[in-house]
Amino acid sequence: MAASQEPAGKDAPAQESATAAEAPAGATKKKRTAPSFSLAQGRTALAQVIWILCLVAATSLAVAALCIAVDANQNNGLVTLVLDLARFFDLGVFTIDDGIMAFTGDNADTKNALVNYGLGAAFYLVLGRVLERLVRP
């Protein structure tokens, strides 16, 4: 009689699957637990937010430089938005008027925008990648 008994570990899964098959469709009895949010997941999410913000800053500076280079219509709402974002993200260091490099002469505005906003965009990309790597677990 002892030889015919199987360990409880082998028998239990067969019984669970049989009861699950007999139960009506929607009447499963699973315990619901609250989703856990670990520190690693929080750091990963924060790293993604940092990277996205730096990417938005770099993109706005690059697109603003392009708008100035092609002499886009500054009365257009989208162009005005991009230029305002670029002025916000230039940190007073990468400005067109008093930036890192100041050109004079022909096409000085275009050169100032391309160089200073280009340097600002590169700065944000490097900063974003470094911060993202430091924060991510």
Tokens of 42: 């929080």
Distance CA 98, CA 35 (A): 51
What mean pLDDT is predicted for residues 27-49? Answer: 80
C-alpha distances in Å from residue 119, one per residue of 9, 16, 21, 34:
65, 63, 64, 46
What mean pLDDT is predicted for residues 38-60? Answer: 93
Model confidence at 17: pLDDT above 70? no
Task: Report the pLDDT value the prediction gives residue 2, as an integer from 0 to 100.
Answer: 53
Tokens of 118: 């280009």
C-alpha distances in Å from residue 132, one per residue of 58, 61, 106:
15, 20, 40
pLDDT-derived band at 40 (thresholds 50, 70, 90) equals: confident
Distance CA 92, CA 4 (A): 83
Task: Report the pLDDT value the prediction gives residue 104, as an integer from 0 to 100.
Answer: 87
Q: Does residue 50 contact residue 128 with C-beta atoms inside 8 Å? A: yes
pLDDT-derived band at 36 (thresholds 50, 70, 90) equals: confident
Q: Which range in 19-23, 76-80, 103-107 is most confidently predicted, on average pLDDT?
A: 76-80
pLDDT-derived band at 15 (thresholds 50, 70, 90) equals: low
Contacts of 136 (CB under 8 A, 6+ apart): 43, 44, 47
- Which residue is it, tokens 């590169």? 122
